[in-house]
Amino acid sequence: MDADMAIKINPKMEVRKLQRVAHAHNLAPCGPAPKDTSPLPSSCTIRTSNGAESPQKPLHHVRLDGRTLEGGGQLVRIALGLSALTGRAVTVDHVRGNRGGKTGLKASHAAAVKLLAEISGSHVSDGNVGSKCLTFTPPQACVEEDEQSPDATRQPQDIPLVSLNTLSVKPEYNIRLTTPGSVFLIFQALYPYLLHVGLRAMTECIRVNIVGGTNGTSSPSYDYAAQVMAPNFVRLGLPSFSMTLQSRGWTSGVVGMGEVSFFIRPLPELTDGLASEKSKQSVGVGAACASRFPRIKIMDYECGKITRITITVLAPNDALQKAKENGSPFTVAEYVEQETLRRLRKSLKTLDQTILAEPLNGERHIPIDMSPTEFTSHPSRLYILLVAHTSTGFRIGHDALFGDHRGRKHTKQKVGKHQKYKKGQGPPPKKKDSEAHLQRVSDMIDECVQGFIDELSETHDDTQTYQIDGSTGSTPAKRSCLDSHMRDQIVVFEALGNLGDKVGIARSEVAQPPEAERYWTLHTKTAQWVCQKMLQDVANNSTRTRQFKERPNYL
């Protein structure tokens, strides 16, 4: 097969054969149990690039319960991305089973699955919108002994990720959703795989154009991705990538479609110099280090001092009834800008002053930059992003979208139809629509500022202690240098960066206190669980994934 030709799935490999694979590994199939239950071979032969045959134990078909932990689309996205990277088949049952309302694949998930399968040459069973059971089978999966490709579809045994030799990657891809599903959740599914295979595009970067939502509920916004996510990825050692906002897509107000173009630079080749540098970080002399992904040891990074804060506001320029001191009316944008700045300055004084580059003494203030406000066209299209820049180059962010109630506690009590009031009392008078809207905007500002302050607080987990070897005392576990939403974005890269390392712990790591697990969100725990399920045997097939060896009780 020509090296530049895309991998094609053998057309004989039908859904019934995928069910045979699941049955042979004691996995309950999605449909009726097949009659043919002949076992799979215990090993298969992989022909390496130099023509030599290398026996390799096949990676067993992984089956994941889509209701585990967070139980949403994140579980599916990570599982399929790792499936394409490692060449092992995966089935996800009960897709998005923990979601209220409609479960199963949404349009954005189906679009990501389709493109990932196209790029990797994988076979997808039940990948349509609404599907509750999805099977993703890369061409490298050992399905039948007589169906093995003679080409080098997997690296030699000590390299756990798929080979680039037979992949064909285009310099540009396009995804167009029909609803404003988050473009950044689609990007999350594609990014690790494109980092690995991007060298085959023979261009400086791969361009991915996605039409969908840029500011929606329960998902990263364009502003957070550009100002927080991208700089932190680069700070942690991943190649720089950029994005261009063509237009905004909102889920609030009149639903509109937006578009973002991503420019993804691939990981560099694993040259002798890079391999040597990573080996120095590894365990012992000459330790194998097969992964091109950078080693990320998050607790080795210091958060540093907060040097400045930036505020981004998206709001309509409509007039409010509330008047300024000079009697002229506020616009919504002006009110949000002024109140966010005022409440933020007040709340910063409650922080431990040691986390600030300059203490707030007297008239001195930490620099706060207000980005030019972008006017929106609907009263409910309101968005605020607060970002702290640290002396060590990290960004800590927190945002709020009007009408998005992620993780908020609702204290409003329901009043029964026949609610009785004391004599002479009745229900409070209803506010005018304009007053009620202004109150909701004010509440949104409070929630955003308080959430941001919570992210900045350098608190210690006093419920956990860590005993350092040779010491007589204990050290409290610490929080990482990332905000809670950014933390779950790097779990996949932590795991991939440790693939191929020999078992053991470097001395520098032993001396570091562990991360305080009470700061982990459900998304972070879900990402860790999926990585453990998908990569544990991959690591065993080469060496071991050191990350999970160090922390067996990862959740």
- Note whether 62 and 91 are within 8 A (CB): yes
Residue 237 is predicted with a pLDDT of: 95
Residue 9 is predicted with a pLDDT of: 37
Closest CA to 523 of 90, 234, 98: 98
One digit per residue, the tens of pLDDT, for the chain of length 555 reads 443 333 333 444 444 444 444 444 444 444 443 433 333 333 344 343 344 444 444 567 899 999 999 888 899 999 999 999 999 999 999 999 888 778 888 888 899 999 999 989 899 998 888 899 999 999 887 543 334 444 444 444 445 788 888 788 899 999 999 888 899 999 999 999 999 999 888 889 999 999 999 998 888 999 999 999 999 999 999 999 899 999 999 988 778 899 999 999 999 887 655 554 544 443 332 333 457 899 999 999 988 899 999 999 999 998 887 666 666 778 999 999 999 999 999 999 888 877 887 766 655 578 999 999 999 989 889 999 999 999 999 999 999 999 875 544 443 444 444 455 444 444 544 556 778 888 999 999 999 999 999 999 854 344 555 554 444 455 667 888 999 999 999 999 999 998 865 433 333 444 567 888 888 999 999 999 999 999 876 655 544 334 444 443 333
Residue 351 is predicted with a pLDDT of: 87
Distance CA 504, CA 485 (A): 30
Residue 437 is predicted with a pLDDT of: 86
Distance CA 532, CA 554 (A): 8
Tokens standing for 350? 């409650």
Residue corresponding to tokens 């991007």? 198
Tokens standing for 45? 């032969």
Closest CA to 74 of 508, 472, 500, 485: 485
The sign of the dihedral angle between the CA atoms of 337, 487, 298, 494 is: negative
List every span in the chain annotated with CATH 3.65.10.20: 62-142+160-270+292-299
The β-bridge partners of 336 are none
- Note whether 207 and 246 are within 8 A (CB): no
Residue corresponding to tokens 């054969």? 17
Residue 464 is predicted with a pLDDT of: 56
Classify residue 337 as left (phi > 0), alpha (psi -120 to 50) or beta.
alpha
Residue 405 is predicted with a pLDDT of: 57
- Note whether 456 and 449 are within 8 A (CB): no
End-to-end CA distance of the chain: 44
In this structure, what is the dihedral angle of CA atoms 525, 497, 55, 273, given to the nearest 10 degrees? 180
Residue 512 is predicted with a pLDDT of: 61
Residue 24 is predicted with a pLDDT of: 43
Residue 517 backbone dihedrals phi, psi, to 5 degrees: -70, -20
Neighbours of 55 (CB within 10 A): 10
Residue 174 is predicted with a pLDDT of: 94
Residue 409 is predicted with a pLDDT of: 43
DSSP string, 488-540: HHTHHHHHHHTTTPPS---HHHHTSPPB-GGG--HHHHHHHHHHHHHHHHHHH
Closest CA to 366 of 339, 338, 347, 394: 347
Count of H helices and E strands in the chain? 14, 19
Note every long-range contact of 162-165, with CB atoms under 8 Å and residues 24 or more positions apart, other chains counting. 162/84, 162/85, 162/86, 162/87, 162/120, 162/138, 162/196, 162/197, 163/49, 164/196, 164/197, 164/199, 164/200, 165/3, 165/49
The CATH homologous superfamily for domain 62-142+160-270+292-299 is RNA 3'-terminal phosphate cyclase domain (3.65.10.20)
List every span in the chain annotated with CATH 3.30.360.20: 302-406+434-457
Closest CA to 226 of 242, 212, 240: 242
**Alpha carbon 16 to chain centroid distance?**
33
Distance CA 215, CA 221 (A): 5
Residue 509 is predicted with a pLDDT of: 43
The second-level CATH assignment, the architecture, of 302-406+434-457 is 2-Layer Sandwich (3.30)
Tokens standing for 242? 């950029």
Beta-strand (E) ranges in 161-271? 172-176, 206-212, 241-247, 258-264
Residue 129 backbone dihedrals phi, psi, to 5 degrees: -60, 130
Tokens standing for 401? 């979208």
